[in-house]
Amino acid sequence: MKITVLGAGAMGSIVGAFLKRGGAEVNFADPFKAHMDKIASDGLNLYDYDGNFKGNLSIETSYSMEGMEAPDVILFLVKASFSRDALSQAVIGPNTYVFTCQNGIGNIEVIEEFVPRERILGGSLNITGMLVEPGTVKYRPMGDYNIGMGCCTQGEKEIAVAKELQQYFEKGGFTTRFYPNVLDSIWAKALFNITNNPIAALERLTRVECREIPETVDLVWNVAREVEAVAHAKGVTSVSAEKFMKDVYLNHDEKMNTVGHYPSMAQDVFIYKRKTEIDVLNGAIVQFGKELGIPTPANEVLTQLIKSIEKSYDIQYKG
């Protein structure tokens, strides 16, 4: 199977590396030239969060998909705000499948503007990761499984493609879970990001540090309950605020260990000073809430605060 990772930043590089380990034919496409060039010349270096070297993989790279042959699968991991631009320039053949593991809600609907729904696969990543420097990433698997995945429709062809991808992940070293309804996987990860990412960004703390503050935990409960109400109104009844808080947010088990890791939105806000994914996370809950007549005050305040920060990077206190 030929797979192009479109959006080979930290997470794209990590996931692509494990597919390569599992025997897939993988190449990267990303406009971050320094990263692509370093991988092309010296390979991709993998480390875990404890600093242990996990291998070097030789992977072909390019700055875009221009001039490529259409792959069997595009693993789509660009930030949601860049999806339409990336897809409009992607090489998508009549038999190409797009597998999105992007953060947030609404990504499948955007991809559907370019690809028939039956050729869209979706999923979520239970992995933390960070780009250490060009050509080097670090990662930590977490949870009961590392990749949640499924199909948007339930035809034989798309299920066969998804199952083949699943085999590559498993052979490469990631555990997987196949969801008959892919929205269950997407909303489960969205709930995790919605409750963790903006609060970590605002408090300038890791997820583990945030959950040690009682007032923060109270806020997260409110955020999670709003997500549950919206999800249920949209027919995704698998979302449970109580189960999430007990089994995930307040779970101190080693499998949920993210000590030392700042969520991607926190990295965006106080390291890279760039646009976040708030619109497809808490912002999406706010928008759905307005459409459905469901109050979402906690998510609305978090959305407004993150957007205010995004618009004021140049004038913020530097210390």
Specify whether 36 is located in the same domain as 168. yes
pLDDT at 257: 64
* Structure-model confidence comparison of residues 22 and 258, the more confident one: 22
Specify whether 142 is located in the same domain as 285. no
Phi-psi region of 143 (alpha: psi -120 to 50; beta: other; left: phi over 0): left
Q: What are residue 254's phi and psi, to 5 degrees? A: -60, -30
Query: Mind listing the pLDDT tens digit for each residue in 190-216?
Result: 999 999 999 999 999 998 899 999 999
pLDDT at 318: 85
**Contacts (Cβ under 8 Å, ≥6 apart) of 201:** 263, 265, 266, 268, 269, 270, 276, 306, 309
**224 confidence band (pLDDT: 50, 70, 90):** very high
**Contacts (Cβ under 8 Å, ≥6 apart) of 242:** none
The domain boundary, picked from 161, 180, 199, lies at: 180
pLDDT at 55: 96
- Residue 218: C-alpha distances to residues 90, 190, 254, 288, 300 (Å): 43, 19, 23, 23, 16
CATH classification of the domain holding 96: 3.40.50.720
Q: Is the pTM of this model over 0.85?
A: yes
Specify whether 148 is located in the same domain as 196. no
**90 confidence band (pLDDT: 50, 70, 90):** very high
* Sheet of 176-178, strands arranged across: 60-62, 25-29, 2-6, 73-76, 97-100, 120-125, 147-151, 176-178
**227 confidence band (pLDDT: 50, 70, 90):** very high
Write out the residue range of the structural domain in which residue 257 sits. 184-315
Specify whether 189 is located in the same domain as 65. no
Specify whether 12 is located in the same domain as 117. yes
pLDDT at 60: 98
CATH classification of the domain holding 311: 1.10.1040.10
Specify whether 242 is located in the same domain as 191. yes
The domain boundary, picked from 180, 205, 235, lies at: 180
**Contacts (Cβ under 8 Å, ≥6 apart) of 84:** 110, 113
Specify whether 146 is located in the same domain as 6. yes
pLDDT at 171: 97
Which pair of tokens denotes residue 133? Answer: 């420097």
Specify whether 72 is located in the same domain as 195. no
Average pLDDT, the chain: 95
pLDDT at 240 over 90: yes
Specify whether 193 is located in the same domain as 148. no
Span 102-115, mean pLDDT? 95
Query: Mind listing the pLDDT tens digit for each residue in 139-178?
Result: 999 888 999 999 999 999 999 999 999 999 999 999 999 9
Query: Mind listing the pLDDT tens digit for each residue in 37-86?
Result: 999 999 999 999 889 999 999 999 999 999 999 999 999 999 999 999 99
The domain boundary, picked from 180, 204, 222, lies at: 180
pLDDT at 254: 62
Query: Mind listing the pLDDT tens digit for each residue in 249-296?
Result: 998 666 666 667 889 999 999 999 999 999 999 999 999 999 999 999
Specify whether 98 is located in the same domain as 221. no
Count of structural domains within the chain = 2
8 Å CB contact between 261 and 195: no
Specify whether 17 is located in the same domain as 148. yes
Specify whether 10 is located in the same domain as 145. yes
